[in-house]
Structures are given as structure tokens and as C-alpha cells.
Structure 1
Amino acid sequence: MPIAVLSASILQLLLAGTFFLIPVVGRRHGPAAQTAAETEIARQGLPPALLARHRIDFGASRASVVVAMSIGLCLIALAWLNLSGIDTGRILSWIFQAVVFVLGCLIMPGEVFTTRFLEASARKSGDLELRGLDAKALVDAAVVAYPPWFRTVVATRLVLATLGSLAVIILLAMPSANGL
């Protein structure tokens, strides 16, 4: 087994693990986080409906769980194909990891840098109530409902989805990856 293929497969499996863990924790702790956010927004003198109106949700919806776990399953399947020496796995990995890289660049930063994204959204909004939101206090209140290690896992997924995806593509393009 070429080290390049083994390394790429390990990166895929690690990333897959984050796509299973994050939605499970989000479903379990999300309602408490949302309640904490609603309490904080009321403390700021703003209506709790402001969160719903702007789709600010600190949990994981059923749809997001299905999407995340589907991505995780695809990553596991690709890792298995690569570890089995099936050339199709390498080709599909190049395509799929490129898609995950784009997702990592466009969507996942908002999960890691929630306060900054929320502040930027509030500044651009025409909603005066949203502009008055203390985004840091809101995010801080919601984050307390999650386990302390959760933010690290979310940041790890961002790194694995971006830099890890690039590494998988490069590793599987190396001549040694063809030597199965």
C-alpha cells in the first residue's frame, strides 16, 4: 500500500468522522443553544422572533444532518475504494474532494467564525433591530450549551475540508499512488 494512498485515505476518514460527530452534537445540544440565544436576545431588548426572521439557528436541522452524514458516508466509501486499490476511487476522490474543498471555503468558515459572519450580516442588513444586535454576546451565550471541545472539532473540519482536501487530491495524483 503506497503511503500516499494510505495518507489520503486517513485524511478522508478523519474528515468523515467530523461529518458524523458535528450533526449529532448539534442535534443534541442545539435546542439548549437556541434557548440560550433567545434568552440573550431578550436580555438585549430585542424580540426573540428576530432569530427566526433571519434564520439564525444554533442547532442542526434534520436536513443538515442528512446532508452531513451523506457526505461522511461518501468519504468513507472513497477511502475504502482507495485502500482497496480500486482506481475509480482515486478519480472519484479528486472530484469529490474538490467539491468538499469549495464547501470548506464557502460554507464552513461561517461555522468557525460565527461571530464575525453574524456581525457582518447585521451591518449589511436593512433590519435596524438586527443592526442593534450584540453578536458576540449572542454567540457566546449559545456556545455555552455545547461541550467545550466542540468548537475544536468544527475548526478541525474546516481545516480537513480545505487543506485536507487539497492534500488528498495531491497525494492521489502522485505517481506513487498509481503503484497499487
Structure 2
Amino acid sequence: MNALAAVMHLLVAAAFVSIPLVRHRFGPAAKAAAVTELRRQGVRPEVLEENKLRFDAGGHETAAPVTVAAVMITTAALNLAGADLAQLLTWIFSSAVLLMNAVIVYSNLTAVQSVEAAFRRKGDPELARVEVAPFLRSAEDAFPGWVRAQTYVRNAVVFAGSAVALVAVSV
């Protein structure tokens, strides 16, 4: 059962690494589309840089998922090695990943409201003028259609993989 848990951890790690890979590959196109939308709305595109708003895989958009992947790979290795600590770490990290992914899904579902609130908090009058829904939609539409399917698959892998790993180390 430790081998099954390890395989699930590796699948979860791969799912998390896919996030910055997709953003790295298609982030520039998303930014270009967002800039076009800002111009259509009469908002200076420089407001993105001035407020450190990004669409690529820089900063925490890479650090967070890569860290999760590294933790899951380490936990997989411990499971494969039959380490006594593997079961406890599986419980801790698989549970944490389940919760984190639930937060990610929620933030994706409430992105418009979250971004509107974030723009208001910035206090930049230029950002306050942005119509967020079409702004985000333009960026999202710059990603290929398969990315939406990949997001659903990634979420399914993370939720199911974490749950299966928890069950595997429990029996």
C-alpha cells in the first residue's frame, strides 16, 4: 500500500508542476490579451507593471506549486523506502494538499470578486476603473482550449490522488 500512496504523491506532484509550466508557456499571450482589453477599456496598460500584476509563472506562481511538488516527491520516496515517518507525513501533507486545492478551486470560482476587491485595496484609481470580468476573460481566452480540460484533470488528480494516498496508508 505504501507503493500506491507513493504513486499518488507523484501524480499530485506532477499536477502541481503543471501549473507553472502552463503559465510559463502561455502567460505572455494572456498578458497581451489583458493589455488589449485594458486599452479597449481606456485604462493604461502600464498599470499592470506598476501594481506588479503578472500572468506568467514568476514569483509565488512557481514557488508554491514547486514546493508542494517537492514535498510530495519527498513523501513518495519515504513511502517507497518504507520509512516509519511516511504514514504520518502522508496524513499531514495529503490532507494539506486537499485543503489547498479546495482553496484554489474556490478562488478560481470567485476570481472576479477577488480581483475586484484586490484592485480596490491597491488604492490605484486606474485599477478601480478596470472592468474585471472582461479583463480576466480576455486573459483566460488567450490560453488554448485544452488548458481548461487540463485544469479539471489536475483538480481530479489532486483530490483523488490525495484521498487514495490517505486510504492507502490507513489500511
TM-score normalised to structure 2 length: 0.76
Q: Percent identity?
A: 30
* Count of residues in correspondence between the two structures: 171
8 A Cα contact 2:15 2:158, kept in partner? no
Q: Which residue of 1 aligns with 2:139?
A: 142
2:14 to 12, 17, 30: 17
Does 2:26 align with 1:29? Answer: yes
2:53 and 2:106 mapped to 1: Cα distance?
Answer: 15
How many angstroms does 1:124 deviate by?
A: 6.3
How many angstroms does 1:19 deviate by?
A: 1.7
Q: Residue by residue, what CA displacement relative to the aligned partner does 1:33-86 show, whole Å, maximum 9, x if unpaired?
A: 112111111111111133234443221105532442232132123123224433
Q: Which residue of 2 aligns with 1:91?
A: 88
Does 2:66 align with 1:69? Answer: yes
Further displaced range: 40-49 or 148-157 = 148-157
User: In structure 1, what residue type is equivalent to 2:28?
Assistant: P
RMSD: 3.0
Alignment of 1:1-180 (within 5 A): 2=1, 5-61=2-58, 64-107=61-104, 109-111=106-108, 113-122=110-119, 126-161=123-158, 164-166=161-163, 168-172=165-169, 174=170, 176=171
Distance 1:65 1:122, change over 3 A: closer
Which structure 2 segments of 5+ residues have no match?
A: none
8 A Cα contact 1:34 1:58, kept in partner? yes
Distance 1:66 1:127, change over 3 A: closer
1:165 and 1:29 mapped to 2: Cα distance?
Answer: 28
TM-score normalised to structure 1 length: 0.73
Which structure 1 segments of 5+ residues have no match?
A: none
Distance 1:130 1:66, change over 3 A: closer
1:109 and 1:11 mapped to 2: Cα distance?
Answer: 23
Provide the secondary structure at the position in 2 that maps to 1:149.
helix
